Amino acid sequence: MKLANFAAVALSLVFSIALLGQWPNFPTPNAPKQADGRPDMTGPTPMTADGKPDLSGVWNSGPGGPGAGKGKGPGPGKEKGPPPDGGKGKDKGKGKGPLGPGGIPPGGFLNMGANMPGGLLPYQDAALKLRNERLARNSVDHPDANCLPLHPIQLWFHPQPRKLIQNPREIVMLAEANGGTRQIFTDGRALPKTEDAQPWWYGYSVGHWEGDTLVVESNGFLDNSWIDENGSPLSNAARVTERIRRPNYGTLEIQITVNDPKMYKQPWTVTANQSLLADDELIEFVCGENNTSLRHYVTK
């Protein structure tokens, strides 16, 4: 069987696993309620004991709320990546899709620049060449295809949900995708100097509050990381800034700004808004267990 690209296999695994079983729904304590007893997604933002917005919860990259299943938001199947020519005369569109808060376009799981002019990020020439080479090989070398960690940028867009656990010292993201774990320290420490830090899959992340917005700065990523299925790269010189707000009970608003002069001609920003999966939990997803799909991947 010849596959168009590895994403078809990966996503079939994602959704078949999600359908097999999960925790029974358990009511979230102290959630605002609608008249019918369901959680009120437009209710007030929960706050921590020290007066900060509480970002804790299970979050999905699409419409959430009671009755919304995992992986039903915008993501794979909802967007088309640009062709391998990199937009050289054949991809002159103006982008698509509604803008996020502040007029910033949403990013995409398949193509992070899907909603930008021409459907392209502002690649440096070498970065565009690398991305096109990856795409021409059907993205079979993507870490996700090989049960390796996803880059934090792409994790926000994955069709499997993620759980945030917040305390005064740190925020932990547990990603259902490949059992990922990311730490964001909020205890005042500084980011390590890039030259002094061992590169990590998830990089190093520290956060501080500006009013009701958590500002997360990250560096120290592996070189030539993947940030979408089409192979958009990120270098070990990249600095990523996330601005995270919870304007109401059921919504996270996230602005992601990437500054990577080795790969991109200028900094760029996308949104990765999330909806709460109330009264729900992550399921166990051990990607490497009995992974027999690799032998079916084709490069062209």
Q: Residue 18's pLDDT is what? A: 46
Average pLDDT over residues 239-264: 98
- Inside any domain, residue 178: yes
Answer yes or no: are the C-beta atoms of 95 and 119 closer than 8 Å: yes
Q: Residue 57's pLDDT is what? A: 96
Q: What is the 3-state secondary structure (H, E, C) of 122-141?
A: CECHHHHHHHHHHHHCCCCC
- 132-142 pLDDT, tens digit each: 999 999 999 99
Average pLDDT over residues 1-19: 44
Q: Band the pLDDT of 56: cuts 50, 70, 90.
A: very high
Q: Residue 25's pLDDT is what? A: 76
Answer yes or no: are the C-beta atoms of 228 and 116 closer than 8 Å: no
- Inside any domain, residue 12: yes
Is the confidence at residue 284, as pLDDT, over 80? yes
- 195-226 pLDDT, tens digit each: 888 999 999 999 999 999 999 999 999 999 99
CB count within 10 Å of CB 283 equals 15
Query: Residue 245 and residue 210: Cα distance in Å, rounded?
Result: 10
Among residues 198, 214, 111, 123, the alpha carbon closest in space to that of 153 is found at: 111
Q: The domain containing residue 271 runs over which residues?
A: 6-296
- Mean pLDDT of all residues in the chain? 83
Answer yes or no: are the C-beta atoms of 50 and 192 closer than 8 Å: no
- Inside any domain, residue 171: yes
Among residues 131, 125, 140, 88, the alpha carbon closest in space to that of 111 is found at: 131
- Global pTM value: 0.82
Backbone φ and ψ for 272, nearest 5 degrees, come out as -140, 60
Q: Which residues contact 168 (CB under 8 A, 6 or more apart)?
A: 48, 50, 186, 187
Q: Which residues contact 171 (CB under 8 A, 6 or more apart)?
A: 55, 164, 165, 183, 184, 186, 207, 214
Answer yes or no: are the C-beta atoms of 29 and 57 closer than 8 Å: no
Query: Residue 257 and residue 242: Cα distance in Å, rounded?
Result: 6
* Sheet strands (E) in 28-76: 57-60
- Inside any domain, residue 1: no
Residue reference for tokens 């490949």: 178
How many domains does the structure of the chain reveal? 1
- Inside any domain, residue 142: yes
